[in-house]
């Protein structure tokens, strides 16, 4: 599909008002997206586990305006309070997607959003937040144009979410989502995420992710800036090629359940992401001393216990500890005994692989 396929033909229905709520999860990349072209087109393909517990719940109430103006009209509430400071992000998002949702200026929207994870936990809410909002808007589009198929609905929601925050396009479905053109994946696209449809070994079906909150502060460098620094990065070409290769390798790992290979690829991807940050100009470091303490502890425990835990990182200091469900008891005991001490205020989140976003209620007036 191409961008133009997401521009709708004139709508068939008239819709005065309504309300919809979606719960959309966060995701954790195994092969990382780092570097982008114009319009949130990724410089390399990526794949992620969709999460379950870490999610955003967003309700959108919509009411037809008496007169359309040249501005968007919306109010934004975050965890019950009006948030003027979040509005520019939504405004930018609306501007980017207006061509694909031409009804946006016809309605006044009340957007109410809340996260399941603690506020300022250092966990990015852009993936879950933007995907939840994209789904609510798609719901309204389907009210206006009821012949939209479920397949198109899902694709377009991912396409729109991508324009809000790249990785958000991987939060619509579960349990594994791939995004970005990849030579050996049929149907892969730079425009939206697709559910990984090859064989997946049962060991990956209920993988665990314990998120260790090492540093809950504001990041010194945003991911937008980080992506941009890949444009003139001395290692960018090799990095982008490596992501393609790692994705190809991971596809066989998913099929045969080879956890040794899984660990090698996932940890290498995490460290490469941070190596890219450390070798950009200007360079920066998002890991903290406790991030490295945790990594070293994980390596030592893996060696001594012969379990299969590994780590991955996103663009921050927090550590995602990934492990198979059948090793949960032993690994979780180790996390509590030896890793939680490195978390800020001892905080961590127990999550696992999830199955995508869900509509919660429809409260039509
Ligand atoms: O979606 P963004 O622009 O916040 O970028 C996300 C980048 C990483 O989390 C570091 C990697 C990824 O693929 O999710």
The parent domain of residue 178 ranges over 3-198+355-359
32 lines ligand 1 (CB under 6 A): yes
Same domain membership, residue 222 and residue 193? no
Specify whether 188 is located in the same domain as 290.
no
261 within some domain = yes
Ligand 1 pocket, residue 269 CB under 6 Å: no
Whether the CB of 154 sits within 6 Å of ligand 1 = no
Instruction: Tell me: do 117 and 221 sit in the same domain.
Output: no
pLDDT of the residue at 218: 72
The three-state secondary structure class of 338 is helix
Does one domain contain both 24 and 172? yes
**148 and 297 belong to one structural domain:** no
Nearest atom of ligand 1 to the alpha carbon of 124: 4
Residue 365 domain-assigned?
Answer: no
Flag whether 31 is in a domain: yes
Instruction: Determine, yes or no, domain membership for 364.
Output: no
In this structure, is residue 204 part of a structural domain?
Answer: no
List Cα–Cα distances, 20 to 54, 62, 165, 284, 343, in angstroms. Answer: 20, 9, 21, 41, 37
The Cα 230–Cα 214 span in angstroms is 26
Q: Return the bridge partners of 135, or none.
A: none
At 122 the pLDDT is: 66
- Structural domain count of the chain: 2
79/11 same-domain check: yes
If asked whether residues 187 and 225 sit together in one domain, one would say no
User: For residue 304, what is the domain's CATH number?
Assistant: 3.30.70.890
| Contact yes or no for 102/25 (Cβ under 8 A) | no
Cis peptide before 282 (omega within 30 of 0): yes
**Residue 215 Cβ < 6 Å to ligand 1:** no
Whether residue 102 lies inside any domain: the answer is yes
Return the bridge partners of 17, or none: 63
SS (H, E, C) 147-210: CCCHHHHHHHHHHHHHHHCHHHHHCCECCEEEECCCCCCCCCCCCCEEECCCCCCHHHCCCEEE
What pLDDT, on a 0 to 100 scale, did the predictor assign at position 120? 64
Class of residue 212 by CB neighbours under 10 A (exposed 0-12, middle 13-18, buried 19+): buried
Q: Which CATH number covers residue 23?
A: 3.30.230.10
Is the domain of 150 the same as that of 239? Answer: no
Instruction: Answer whether residue 316 is part of any domain.
Output: yes
User: What phi and psi, each to the nearest 5 degrees, are found at residue 37?
Assistant: -100, -175
**Ligand 1: centre distance to CA 124 (Å):** 9
Q: Are residues 239 and 323 in the same domain?
A: yes
Q: Which residue positions in the chain have pLDDT lower than 70?
A: 119-122, 362-365
Q: How far is the CA of 330 from the centre of ligand 1 (A)?
A: 30
CA 96 to chain centre: 19
Residue of 26, 28, 29, 46 with the most ligand 1 atoms within 8 Å of its CB, for mutation: 29
Regarding whether 242 and 138 lie in a shared domain, the answer is no
Does residue 203 lie in a domain region?
no
CA of 127 to the centre of ligand 1 (A): 8
Which residues are paired to 321 by β-bridges? 210, 311
**pLDDT at position 193:** 98
C-beta of 262 in contact with ligand 1 (< 6 A): no
Question: Do 264 and 136 fall into the same domain?
Answer: no
| Crossing angle for the helix pair 126-144 and 150-164, to the nearest 10 degrees | 140
* 171 and 43 both lie in a single domain: yes
Task: Give the pLDDT of residue 364.
Answer: 55
CA of 230 to the centre of ligand 1 (A): 13
Angle at 356 between CA 353 and CA 358, to 5 degrees: 135
């Amino acid at each position: 599909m191409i961008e133009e396929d997401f521009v709708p033909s004139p709508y068939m229905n008239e819709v005065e008002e309504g309300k919809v709520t979606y719960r959309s999860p966060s995701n954790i990349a195994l092969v990382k997206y780092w570097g982008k072209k114009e319009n949130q087109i990724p410089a390399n393909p990526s794949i992620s586990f969709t999460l379950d517990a870490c999610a955003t719940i967003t309700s959108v109430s919509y009411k037809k305006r008496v007169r359309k103006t040249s501005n968007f009209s919306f109010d934004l509430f975050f965890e019950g309070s009006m948030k003027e400071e979040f509005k520019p992000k939504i405004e930018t998002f609306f501007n980017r997607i207006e061509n694909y949702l031409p009804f946006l200026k016809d309605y006044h929207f009340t957007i109410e959003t809340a996260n399941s994870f603690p506020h300022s936990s250092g966990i990015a809410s852009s993936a879950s937040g933007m995907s939840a909002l994209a789904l609510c808007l798609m719901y309204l589009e389907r009210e206006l144009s009821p012949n939209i198929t479920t397949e198109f609905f899902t694709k377009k929601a991912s396409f729109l979410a991508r324009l809000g925050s790249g990785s958000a396009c991987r939060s619509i479905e579960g349990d594994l989502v791939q995004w970005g053109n990849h030579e050996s994946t049929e149907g892969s696209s730079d425009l939206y995420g697709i559910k990984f449809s090859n064989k997946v070994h049962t060991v990956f079906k209920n993988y665990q992710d314990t998120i260790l909150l090492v540093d809950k502060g504001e990041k010194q460098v945003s991911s937008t800036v980080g992506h941009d620094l890949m444009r003139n990065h001395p290692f960018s070409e090799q990095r982008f090629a490596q992501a393609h290769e790692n994705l190809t390798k991971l596809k066989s790992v998913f099929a045969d359940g080879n956890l040794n290979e899984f660990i090698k690829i996932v940890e290498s991807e995490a460290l490469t992401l941070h190596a890219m940050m450390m070798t950009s100009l200007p360079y920066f470091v998002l890991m903290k001393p406790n991030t490295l303490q945790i990594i070293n502890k994980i390596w030592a425990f893996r060696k001594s216990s012969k379990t299969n835990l590994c780590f991955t990182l996103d663009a921050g200091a927090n550590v995602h500890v990934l492990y198979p469900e059948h090793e949960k008891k032993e690994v979780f005991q180790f996390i509590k005994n030896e890793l939680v001490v490195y978390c800020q205020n001892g905080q961590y989140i127990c999550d696992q692989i999830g199955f995508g976003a869900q509509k919660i209620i429809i409260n039509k007036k």
